[in-house]
Amino acid sequence: MQQRSNLQRRQIRKGILLLVPAMALISIFYLSPAIVSVFYSLTNISQVGRKAVHWSFVGAANYAMMLRDGRFWVSLGNTAIFLLFSAIIGQNGLGFLIAYLMQRKSLWFRRLVGMAVLLGLVTPEVVVSIIFFAFFGVEGSLNQGLALFGISPKTWLFSCSMLSIILANIWRGTAFSMLMFQSALDSVPSELLESAHLDGAGPLRTLVGVTLPVIQGTILTNTVLITISTIGVFGMIFALTGGGPGLSSTTVPIYMYQKAFASYQIGYGSAIAIVLLCFGIALSLFYTKAFRSQA
Amino acid sequence: MKRKPARLRACLSYLVLIAIFVNFVWPLLWLVLASISTKPAWKLVMPNPATMENFRSIVGTPLNLRSFANSFLMAFGEAAVALVIGLLAAYPLSRYRLRGKSKLLFSLLFLSGLPITTVMVPLYMIFFQLRIIDNLAATTLFMAAASLPNAIWMLKSFVDDVPPSLEEAAAIDGASVLQILRRVVAPLMLPGMFVVFIFNFSGTWSNFFVPFILINSLEKMPASVTIFQFFNSYGRVAYGQLAAYSILYTLPVVALYLASQKYMSQGFTFGGAIK
Residues of B in contact with A37 (CB under 8 A): 118-119, 121-122
Q: B62-268, superfamily in CATH?
A: MetI-like (1.10.3720.10)
Across the interface, do A12 and B257 touch by the CB < 8 Å criterion? no
ipTM of model: 0.88
A58 burial type by CB count under 10 A (0-12 exposed, 13-18 middle, 19+ buried): middle
Q: How many residues does chain A have?
A: 295
Least confident of A47-61, A130-144, B125-139, B202-216: A47-61
3-state secondary structure of A133: helix
For residue A144, what are the CA distances in angstroms to A170, B43, B44, B70?
21, 7, 8, 38
Q: What confidence tens digit (pLDDT) does each residue in A74-102 have? A: 999 999 999 999 999 999 999 999 999 99
- Give the residue among A139, A167, A164, A165 at the shortest CA–CA distance from A153: A139
For chain A, the domains span 61-294
CB-CB neighbors (< 8 A) of A170 in chain B:
none
Residue B267 pLDDT: 44
Residue A284: partners with Cβ closer than 8 Å, 6 or more residues away: A228, B110, B111, B113, B114
Residue B19: the pLDDT is 94
**Residue A1, pLDDT above cutoff 80:** no
Per-residue pLDDT of chain B (275 residues; tens, 9 = 90+): 445 677 888 889 999 999 999 999 999 999 998 888 877 777 777 877 788 888 888 888 888 899 999 999 999 999 999 999 999 999 999 888 878 888 888 888 888 888 888 889 889 988 888 889 999 999 999 999 999 999 999 999 899 888 888 888 888 888 788 888 888 888 888 888 998 999 999 999 999 999 999 999 989 999 999 999 988 887 667 888 899 999 999 999 999 988 887 665 544 443 333 33
DSSP per-residue string spanning A17-69:
HHHHHHHHHHIIIIIHHHHHHHHHHTB---SSSGGGTS--B-TTHHHHHHHH-
Of B27, B92, B128, the CB nearest to A131: B27
Q: What is residue B253's predicted lDDT score, i.e. its pLDDT?
A: 93
Mean pLDDT score of chain A, rounded to an integer? 87
The 10s digit of each residue's pLDDT in A179-219 is: 999 989 988 888 888 888 888 888 888 888 888 888 888 89
CB contact under 8 A, B115 and A276: yes
Are B89 and B152 within 8 A, CB to CB? yes
A5 — pLDDT class (breaks 50, 70, 90):
low
In this prediction, residue A144 has a pLDDT band, given cuts at 50, 70 and 90, of confident
CB contact under 8 A, B257 and A256: no
Rounded Cα gap, residues A22 and B86, in angstroms: 7
Output the CA torsion sign for A206, A210, A214, A216.
positive
From the candidate CATH numbers 1.10.3720.10, 1.10.1370.40, 3.40.309.10, 1.10.340.30, the one assigned to the domain spanning A61-294:
1.10.3720.10
> Sorting pLDDT into bands at 50, 70 and 90, what band is A47?
confident
- Asked if the Cβ–Cβ distance from A122 to B41 is below 8 Å, we say no
- Is B266 near chain A, with CB under 8 Å? no
Q: How far apart are CA A138 and CA A153, in angstroms?
A: 6
What pLDDT sits at residue A295? 56
A105 closest CA partner among B64, B1, B155, B12: B12
Q: Where are the domains of chain B?
A: 1-51, 62-268
| Tens-place pLDDT, residues A233-242 | 999 999 999 8
Q: What is the pLDDT of residue B268?
A: 44
- CA gap B215, B120 in Å, rounded: 13
Residue of A nearest to B258 (CA): A115
Return the number of CB contacts < 8 Å for A and B. 280
Residue A234 is predicted with a pLDDT of: 94
Residues of chain A contacting residue B212, judged by C-beta atoms under 8 Å apart: 235
B171 or A175, which is more confident?
Answer: A175
Asked if residue B211 has a cis previous peptide bond (ω within 30° of 0), the answer is no
Residues 29-58 of A with CB under 8 A from B: 29-30, 32-34, 36-37, 40, 45, 47
Task: Please write the tens of the pLDDT for every residue from A209-235.
Answer: 888 888 888 898 899 889 988 999 999
What pLDDT is attached to residue B275? 37
Distances (CA, A) of A231 to A28, A69, A81, A169, A226: 24, 20, 11, 11, 8
Q: What is the pTM of this model?
A: 0.89
Residues 191-220 of A with CB under 8 A from B: 203
